[in-house]
Structure 1
Amino acid sequence: MTQRTMRAVRITGHGGLEVLEPAEAPVPVPRAGEVLVQVSAVALNNTDLWTREGSYGLPGDPGALAGWRGPVDFPRIQGADVAGRIAAVGPGVSPDLVGRRVVVDPALYDGVGPDANPLGLMGSERDGGYAEYVTAPAARVHDMTASPLSDDQLAALPTAYGTALGMIERARLAPGETALVSGASGGVGLALVQIARARGATVLAISSGAKLDAVHDAGAHTVLDRAGDLPGQVRAAAPDGVDIVLDVVAGDLVPALLPLVREGGRWTVAGALGGHDINIDIRRLYLHNITLIGSSMHTPTHFRHLMDMAANGDLNPVIAAAYPLDQAAAAQAALAQRTHVGKIVLRP
């Protein structure tokens, strides 16, 4: 390809929407072992907001301005979730890949094994997909040419569905168990509902009044209104308690609902939309042999399984809205309002 510059949106520092800067940037050149992807769609995540705001804190300094895994190298092109087509390849990569429709695994791993853990993220620790082109390791690009999903739907998968699958796998969700999903109308929440239902679980989902029907349509057996008496609603829906909580909200939800987890149950958390500083009665944890699991994204094995599901059309990501690239600030503002159901995407 001969194009030398591209449209992109980058953040110039931590702050509000004003730090999102449309820019002309050089088209990145794929290095050895990498490919160049022409971006068809890039999905937004809460990580985009929190990285821009610097909301992650640092070990020992929770109030520090920092990105997902620490300091961010500015300016940074955001966007972890990329679907597109391979436009060029770097040294050592087969030219037969050019033209393939792909999804990029956005995780930067701590090793090369199938169970490696993510220690960085595209759009945070390296440039991402708020641009016409992005580079990625060839080993992290998955061929979705035959998938029945649209480009928007494919872009909705990596972080939301990858995080959801990682939570479910780490919690060892088994068929016949009862799973309680918090934040069920968001991208990760809807993914949790769909995957847990497909795994044969009885799914209880927490959402708000305006979104209850959409969450039910996504596969939840029972939808609970977070504005009501949540412990009472959970007891009514699951008199014997729940086996597993799949939680992206945390905050006051944890002390309120922890006593409703069955003996030997699991509480898996991958977000803190409701607050990160909580108090719990630790006796409820150890006296009932409850396992508390932190889950950050996925492993390469999880992601490969996710891509197999997408290739087979086993998933149905919900797209709430699509924006052109130059409206990235408006898209992030809409994401922050949390009035939507599903995923918001940009189309470079």
Structure 2
Amino acid sequence: MRAVLLTGFGGPEKLEYRDDVPDPQAGPGEVRVKVGATALNNTDIWTREGAYGSPGDPGATAGWRREPLHFPRIQGADVAGQIDQVGPGVPESRIGQRVLVDPTIYQGGERELAVTDLLGSERDGGFAELVTVPAENAHPVDGPLSDAELATFPTAYTTAMRMLNRAAVRQGETLVVTGASGGVGSALIQLANVRGAHVVAVAGKGKHRQARELGAAATVERDAADLAAAVEAAAPGREIDVVADVVAGPSFPALIAILRPLGRYVVAGAIAGPLVETDLRTVYLKQLQIVGSSFGTHEDFAKLLEHIRAGQLKPLLAASYPLAELRAAQEQFVAKGFFGKLVVTPASA
């Protein structure tokens, strides 16, 4: 089959397009999916770069579980396609089903999520023509959305849902979303709106209109000289109940400062830098909660499917690339000059 192999930690040169990769075979309890489309995520870039560090060394080269990866690896967590083979123990009636894949591969409760295998990281993923997954991770889907549109959902939206759940966001609360033009940020806007929250979106120039169209009640310039003052001006008379952050970096102190007493800060990314400083007196005197979050649970994925089927979420497909141009797709992804999600499609490789 055709696939893109990640041959080691490093830059885009570590991505190798091949047309002679052996076809994977569905094992016991598994299905094989003929890939229709696979979306890109920040974790693809950070995993390629080995940018997750280790508990004792923030600069160490490692995958998201902060341990070595096995190469070569096929990346790509967000897969939509059609089942074309089943392994022992899986009904043959599943062959031909159109599916959307839950990328987290674990059993048990949510504590196991912290050590899950992730499709495209610990297990070969969807930047290929074929991929195998546990049968229970391949969820039947129907409806008018294309494979490319469906692939925009899994990681970003379940990550966003997990953040909202971890921070217990409720109807009527005011939520500040950073990185609002990215996959997780735009998902946060939509999912928070489903809950009836009031969203203030922090986004770069030229991306405020799209954020408002998704449901943000107000927008703030990402590079505002005084972020706290800009948020206050955008939400006059409203206390900030929750900050949902995927950016971190230099903005972290301001994001902590804008929270009301007993407010909650939830983080699932650090695009602008993982090492931050703040005045802990602000945290304890205001009795703030700082909450870490990462990938969504199986329950989050099931809820996401309900929202998709109900037509409550808009797929934000910014561009599609042939599989052979994955390097170019990742370069555009890093440049952040788009709103929503990028996908690759093996059929046009």
Mapped to 2, the partners of 1:200 and 1:133 lie a distance apart of: 39
The match for 2:169 is 173
Which residue identity lines up with residue 335 of structure 2 in the other structure? Q
Task: Report how far residue 313 of structure 1 moved.
Answer: 2.0
Equivalent residue letter for 1:52: R
SS in 2 for 1:102: strand
Q: CA deviation at 1:118?
A: 4.4
2:5 to 3, 10, 18: 10
Q: Which amino acid aligns with 1:327?
A: E
User: Of residues 289, 295, 301 in structure 1, which corresponds to 2:287?
Assistant: 289
1:163 maps onto 2:159 in alignment:
yes
The one of 315, 318, 325 aligned to 2:316 = 318
User: Which residue of the other structure, out of 161, 182, 190, is the alignment partner of 2:186?
Assistant: 190
Aligned to 1:94: 91
Distance in 2 between the 1:152 and 1:245 partners? 30
Residue 270 of structure 2 is aligned with which of 257, 269, 272? 272
Q: Distance in 2 between matches of 1:257 and 1:318?
A: 26
Instruction: Tell me the distance in 1 between the aligned counterparts of 2:198 and 2:3.
Output: 43
Q: Is the 8 A contact 1:42 1:79 kept in 2?
A: yes
Q: How does 1:96-175 map to 2 (within 5 A)?
A: 96-109=93-106, 111-113=107-109, 116-119=112-115, 120-144=117-141, 146-175=142-171
Aligned partner of 1:18: which letter?
A: E
Letter matched to residue 186 of structure 2: L
Q: Contact between 1:116 and 1:299, CA under 8 Å: does it hold in 2?
A: no
Counterpart pick for 1:242 among 229, 240, 245: 240
* Structure 1 unmatched runs, 5+: 1-5
Q: Contact 1:115–1:300 at 8 Å: present in 2 too?
A: no
Unaligned runs of 5+ in 2: none
User: Residue 343 of structure 2 aligns to a residue in which SS?
Assistant: strand
Task: Output the TM-score relative to the length of structure 2.
Answer: 0.95
**Structure 2 vs 1, CA of residues 13 and 115 (structure 1 numbering), >3 Å: closer, same or farther?**
closer
1:34 is displaced (CA, Å) by 0.4
Contact 1:148 1:311 in 2 (8 A): no
Q: 1:8, 1:63 → 2: CA distance?
A: 30
Find the residue that maps to 2:21 and give its secondary structure: strand
| CA distance, structure 1, for counterparts of residue 108 and residue 138 of structure 2 | 14
The CA distance in 1 between the partners of 2:110 and 2:269, in whole Å, is 24
Q: What SS does the corresponding residue of 2:319 show, helix, strand or coil?
A: strand
Question: C-alpha root-mean-square deviation of aligned residues, in Å?
Answer: 1.2
The residue type equivalent to 1:176 in the other structure is G
Q: Contact conserved, 2:105 with 2:137, CA < 8 A, in 1?
A: no
Distance 2:146 2:212 in 1: 23
Partner of 2:331: 333
Q: Take 1:114 and 1:273, find their aligned partners in 2: how far apart are those partners?
A: 25
**8 Å Cα contact 2:103-2:154 kept in structure 1:** yes
Counterpart code for 1:64? A
- Offset at 1:115? 6.9
Displaced runs of 4 or more, over 4 A: none
Q: 1:54 corresponds to which letter in structure 2?
A: G
Q: CA deviation at 1:134?
A: 0.1
Q: Please report how far the alpha carbon of residue 257 of structure 1 lies from its aligned counterpart in structure 2 after TM superposition.
A: 2.3
Q: Paired residues, what number?
A: 341
Q: Is the 8 A contact 1:231 1:256 kept in 2?
A: yes
Distance 1:217 1:193 in 2: 10
Equivalent residues of 2:83, 2:96 under 8 A apart: yes
